């Protein structure tokens, strides 16, 4: 599984919690379980933490096929990442 996105944060503890809530809501909405994985270790550079988040293609497909979030049409991975 390739990284789908890399999160850059200066407050890693709260940002990881917020992103997990968003991804959990995607899983709940689609009925897909274990659709994402955060890398266990992040890297720090210039005061920023960088963490890779891997999202399984099946979860991405279910999000795209499912009903739109926040009244937005989802046409592909880029639209999902904009919502996140």
> Could you tell me which of 54, 57, 56, 82 has the C-alpha nearest to residue 69?
82
pLDDT digits (tens, 9 = 90+) for 8-61: 999 998 999 999 998 999 899 889 999 999 988 889 999 999 999 999 988 888
For the whole model, what pTM was predicted?
0.74
Residue 22 domain boundaries:
5-83
Number of domains in the chain: 1
Question: How far is Cα 7 from Cα 36, in angstroms, rounded to an integer?
Answer: 14
Non-local (6+) Cβ contacts of 71 within 8 A are: none
Residue 3's pLDDT band (cuts 50, 70, 90): low
């Amino acid at each position: 599984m390739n990284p789908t996105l890399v999160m850059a944060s200066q407050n890693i503890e709260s940002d990881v919690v917020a992103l997990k809530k968003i991804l959990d809501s995607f899983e709940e909405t689609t009925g897909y379980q274990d659709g994402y994985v955060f890398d266990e270790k992040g890297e720090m550079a210039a005061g920023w933490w960088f963490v890779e988040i891997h999202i399984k293609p099946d979860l991405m497909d279910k999000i795209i096929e499912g009903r739109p979030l926040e009244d937005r049409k989802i046409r592909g991975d880029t639209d999902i990442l904009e919502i996140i």
